[in-house]
């Protein structure tokens, strides 16, 4: 999709919402009366938000264009591309892309869309659910999730239990590898990732107080989906 078409899409779909705010005098006055943040919010909603949303969506389209160039024509399910199912997913992807400043997440969204257009067993994968999981995680949570997956991507050795495998993969180095995240925040992030279904905690009896997590089959399945050629 060329940028001129992208700009037209944004103009048709996003500008009206901004214009409605700009024309709502009562709402604008109410916001400007909020101490400290009122005026900056008003400026953002009337002048800056459109460009930010536009840049994020253009970034998604650029990433999607790159991803699609790596696909062979024979692998593309053109019937699916013309289906309402794909259009619904595409619209939802635009929506979540517009809500994040993280280019890494937008790249993942593009990879997810690429995966959907390939011939595949559509009952085996759930891209809509994968999109929801990715959208709900913060940038810091994704950083930790990526690092755990990178560690534990390798398979267990013969006779190796899950604890031995996790330690061999480098679990004790996780905090060092995610050095930008405060130590006291890790437990909260682990619980968030566990709730999302990406990791699970090993029984406490295996390692004193517990606190070692391993990736789930669902997480491995999502990453396999995103990393497929």
For residue 133, being part of any structural domain is answered with: no
Interval 173-182: pLDDT, tens: 999 999 999 9
31 plus 108 within the same structural domain: yes
163 plus 196 within the same structural domain: yes
Interval 34-85: pLDDT, tens: 887 778 777 777 777 778 888 888 899 999 999 988 888 888 888 888 899 9
Distance between CA 153 and CA 114 in Å, rounded? 22
**Residue 103 has what pLDDT?**
92
104 plus 69 within the same structural domain: yes
Q: What pLDDT band is residue 3 in, cutting at 50, 70 and 90? A: very low
Distance between CA 198 and CA 228 in Å, rounded? 19
Interval 83-140: pLDDT, tens: 999 999 998 998 899 889 999 999 999 999 999 988 887 788 899 999 999 999 998 9
Domains held by the chain: number: 2
Residue 215's beta-bridge partner residues?
199
For 44, the domain range is: 3-123
Q: What pLDDT band is residue 227 in, cutting at 50, 70 and 90? A: confident
For residue 199, being part of any structural domain is answered with: yes
112 plus 158 within the same structural domain: no
Domain boundary among 77, 92, 123: 123
Residues 75 and 118: beta-carbon distance below 8 Å: yes
If you average pLDDT over residues 17-23, what whole number do you get?
A: 60
Q: Is the pLDDT of residue 7 over 60?
A: no
40 plus 119 within the same structural domain: yes
For residue 128, being part of any structural domain is answered with: no
35 plus 146 within the same structural domain: no
Q: What pLDDT band is residue 199 in, cutting at 50, 70 and 90? A: very high
80 plus 157 within the same structural domain: no
Q: Is the pLDDT of residue 1 over 60?
A: no
144 plus 202 within the same structural domain: yes
Residue 199's beta-bridge partner residues?
215
For residue 26, being part of any structural domain is answered with: yes
193 plus 155 within the same structural domain: yes
Domain boundary among 123, 153, 177: 123
**Residue 62 has what pLDDT?**
92
Distance between CA 201 and CA 193 in Å, rounded? 10
For residue 134, being part of any structural domain is answered with: no
For residue 67, being part of any structural domain is answered with: yes
Q: What are phi and psi of 76, to 5 degrees?
A: -90, 125
For residue 129, being part of any structural domain is answered with: no
Q: What pLDDT band is residue 5 in, cutting at 50, 70 and 90? A: low
12 plus 118 within the same structural domain: yes
In the three-class reduction of DSSP (H, G, I as helix; E, B as strand; rest coil), residue 76 is classed as strand
148 plus 105 within the same structural domain: no
Q: What is the pTM of this model?
A: 0.76
Residue 130 sits at the vertex; the CA angle it makes with 118 and 203, to the nearest 5 degrees, is: 130
13 plus 110 within the same structural domain: yes
């Amino acid at each position: 999709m060329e940028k001129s078409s992208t700009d037209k899409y944004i103009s048709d779909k996003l500008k009206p919402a901004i214009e409605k705010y700009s024309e709502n005098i009562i709402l604008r006055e109410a916001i400007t009366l909020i101490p400290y943040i009122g005026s900056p919010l008003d400026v953002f909603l009337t002048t800056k938000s459109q460009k930010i949303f536009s840049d994020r969506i253009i970034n998604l389209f650029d990433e999607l264009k790159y991803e699609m160039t790596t696909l062979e024509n024979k692998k593309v399910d053109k019937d699916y591309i013309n289906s309402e199912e794909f259009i619904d997913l595409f619209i939802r992807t635009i929506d979540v892309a517009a809500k994040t400043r993280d280019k890494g997440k937008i790249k993942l969204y593009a990879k997810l869309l690429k995966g959907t257009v390939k011939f595949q067993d559509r009952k085996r994968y759930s891209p809509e659910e994968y999109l929801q999981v990715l959208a709900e995680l913060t940038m810091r949570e994704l950083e930790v999730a990526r690092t755990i997956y990178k560690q534990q991507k390798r398979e267990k050795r013969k006779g190796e239990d899950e604890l031995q495998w996790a330690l061999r993969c480098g679990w004790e180095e996780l905090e060092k590898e995610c050095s930008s995240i405060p130590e006291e925040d890790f437990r909260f992030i682990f619980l968030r990732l566990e709730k999302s279904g990406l990791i699970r905690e090993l029984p406490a009896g295996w390692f004193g107080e517990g606190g070692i997590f391993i990736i789930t089959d669902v997480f491995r399945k999502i990453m396999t989906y995103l990393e497929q050629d």
